[in-house]
Amino acid sequence: MSQNTNFPAIPPEQLVDLLRQSPVMNAFYDRAKTMMWSMVQYKELQMLYSCALKEIQTKFEVLDTEFKLEYNRDPISSISTRLKRTESVMDKLERKGLPFTLASIEENIHDMAGIRVICSYIDDIYLIADALLRQDDITLIARKDYIEHPKDNGYRSLHLIVEVPVFLTNHKKSMKVEVQIRTIAMDFWASLEHQMKYKQEIPDEEAIMAELRDCAAVIRETDERMLAIRRRIEAAADAPTEEELLFDKLARFDIPIQ
């Protein structure tokens, strides 16, 4: 059977007009356009959360630089950030029986943007947390101290939900960021526990979880002992004179400022 190849070419814009003349196709087209706009707006929302993370990360980096140069302290060991994956956002909203909309995400997903700050000592955690919260463009939304009050499984960390303004070309918008601050030892434990949580069919799971709780107690004691040792060393040192403070600052004059 021969094929008729003499159909006239139809420009794309004319084809769209023809399709929209059908009520069914018109409804389909409008729905598809709405979905595409939603995708664009969701991407813009992700951009805002990403900018909020940069704002918070910069604040911590500035604080760390100040402590290094002014007080010869290095309270922050590392900083990492992450944006919640779309699949995780959808799962969380579904578990709560909430729709996948921009308003629902902003109102109910407080850990869409997360930053983790790792410190050497327990007192450094509260030192930098308080320094962050004293800044006049930071608003504290929620605070959970899992260091003083650990979770049942032994997890320990300081959690903050804060709002920070993101300044764009013609407006600003306050965005929520989850801040987790913990020691190196706490982070080591949390990483192992996280691996356990997402493994499947672990033999002797209850026994292993009991071991993890015991390890959490050992880590807590170790953190407290290390802090006590540092404080004993600091207390044994003579208070520096004004000249010694000056020479100490001059000795660190060429430390790179990054």
pLDDT at residue 258 tops 80: no
Task: Name the helix (H) or strand (E) containing 205.
Answer: helix 205-236
List pLDDT tens digits, range 220-245: 999 999 999 999 988 887 666 666 55
pLDDT band at 37 (very low <50, low <70, confident <90, very high): low
| Cα dihedral 135, 42, 92, 156 sign | negative
Question: Structure tokens of 196?
Answer: 């356990």
Which pLDDT does position 234 carry in this prediction? 83
Nearest CA among 26, 9, 5, 8 for reference residue 17 = 26
pLDDT band at 108 (very low <50, low <70, confident <90, very high): very high
38 or 144: whose pLDDT is higher? 144
pLDDT band at 120 (very low <50, low <70, confident <90, very high): very high
Q: What is the pTM of this model?
A: 0.79
Burial class (CB in 10 A: 0-12, 13-18, 19+), 157: buried
Which pLDDT does position 165 carry in this prediction? 97
Question: What's the average model confidence in pLDDT over 145-167?
Answer: 96
